[in-house]
Amino acid sequence: MILFETTESVIDILWDVALAFFVTRLAVIYFFLNFLSALALSYLVYSAQTPVTHLVTSQNPEVLLPFLLGSAALWARILVVRYDVPRSGPFRLGIGAVALGFMVLVEGLVAWVVYEEGWWSGGKGGQERVWIVVGVWLAWYTLVPFVMMFFEGREEGEAPTTEVREKN
């Protein structure tokens, strides 16, 4: 009977669908946390830039970068601990890649709306620095769940990374 010959492949497909759902759900949570914190940080930094004469306010986008990198690391750590994400490189890279897809999609949508409304100041120059900051942040944002594995302790039952030989 064909049912008994395909049972293993059906279970594999269901397992893959469950993993894809889990990765997508974690990526959406990770995306929303980072997007909202980046929005809040951007507002706080750039709303304080109105007078150019003050020495305390910054006129360069690099000021925002350490805060964005720190918030991405914070949210990745909270996500890993709260949802008990396994220490699997492809799994964590998948979470980062799907979250990057969401971030690029939403950032592109926001840029399109800003351009259509006439708020775009892309022709004034100096935008290269902004794109470099955004690129560094998005690269870190994508890789930080994977990088967190190197700073976590070893799980119970996991094999040690170095081999220990007993002396007789």
27-62 pLDDT, tens digit per residue, is 999 999 999 999 898 888 777 655 544 444 445 678
Q: Let me know if residue 161 belongs to a domain.
A: no
> Which long-range contacts does 66-71 make (Cβ < 8 Å, 24+ apart)?
67/41, 68/38, 68/41, 68/133, 68/137, 68/140, 68/141, 69/136, 69/137, 69/140, 71/34, 71/37, 71/38, 71/41
- Structure-token pair, residue 59: 């006129």
Our count of domains for the chain comes to 1
Contacts of 148 (CB under 8 A, 6+ apart): 73, 76, 77, 80, 92
Query: Does some domain include residue 160?
Result: no
Q: Is residue 157 part of a domain?
A: no
Distance (Å, rounded) from C-alpha 104 to C-alpha 137? 12
14 belongs to a structural domain: yes
Domain annotation covers residue 69: yes
Q: Which domain holds residue 18?
A: 2-49+59-151
Task: Specify the range with the lowest mean pLDDT, choosing from 55-59, 70-74, 99-103, 148-152.
Answer: 55-59
SS (H, E, C) 118-147: CCCCHHHCCHHHHHHHHHHHHHHHHHHHHH
Q: Where does 37-105 show beta strands of DSSP type E?
A: none
Q: Find tokens 């759902």 and name the residue.
A: 21
Between 87 and 124, name the one with better pLDDT: 87
> 78 vs 26, 75, 95, 103, CA distance in Å?
11, 5, 14, 19
Which pLDDT value is given to residue 44?
84
Mean pLDDT across the chain: 81
Q: Decide if 84 is inside a domain.
A: yes
Q: What confidence tier does 115 reach under pLDDT thresholds 50, 70, 90?
A: confident
Domain membership flag for residue 158: no
- Position 116 in a domain: yes
Its pTM stands at 0.77
